[in-house]
C-alpha cells in the first residue's frame, strides 16, 4: 500500500466528508428498495469506512513519526 503524506490524507478526508454529507442529504429523496436507494446506501457505508480508515491512518501518523 502506498504511504500517503499526512496532509494529503487530511485533504482526502475533507473531500470524503463532503461527499458523505451530500449522499446522506439525498437519501430521503429516494424510494426505499429501489436500485438507486440501495446504491446510495452502499456508497454511504463505503465512504464511512474509507473515512474511518483515513482518520485512523492520520492518527497513527500523528502519534508516530509524523510523516
Burial 27-58 (b: 16+ CB within 10 A, else e): eeeeeeeeeeeeebeeebeebeeebeebeebb
- Proportion of the chain above pLDDT 70, given as a percent: 94
CB 9 within 8 A of CB 44: no
Name which of 12, 8, 6, 11 is nearest 61 in CA terms: 6
Mean per-residue pLDDT for 23-52?
A: 97
Residue-range domain boundaries for the chain: 6-63
Q: How many CB atoms lie within 10 A of CB 12?
A: 16
pLDDT: which is higher, 64 or 3: 3
Mean per-residue pLDDT for 20-46?
A: 97
Q: What pLDDT shows up at residue 2?
A: 87
Report pTM. 0.88
Amino acid at each position: 500500500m502506498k504511504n500517503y503524506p499526512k496532509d494529503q490524507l487530511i485533504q482526502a478526508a475533507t473531500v470524503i466528508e463532503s461527499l458523505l454529507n451530500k449522499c446522506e442529504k439525498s437519501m430521503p429523496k429516494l424510494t426505499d428498495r429501489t436500485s438507486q436507494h440501495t446504491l446510495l446506501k452502499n456508497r454511504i457505508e463505503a465512504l464511512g469506512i474509507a473515512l474511518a480508515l483515513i482518520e485512523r491512518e492520520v492518527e497513527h501518523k500523528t502519534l508516530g513519526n509524523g510523516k
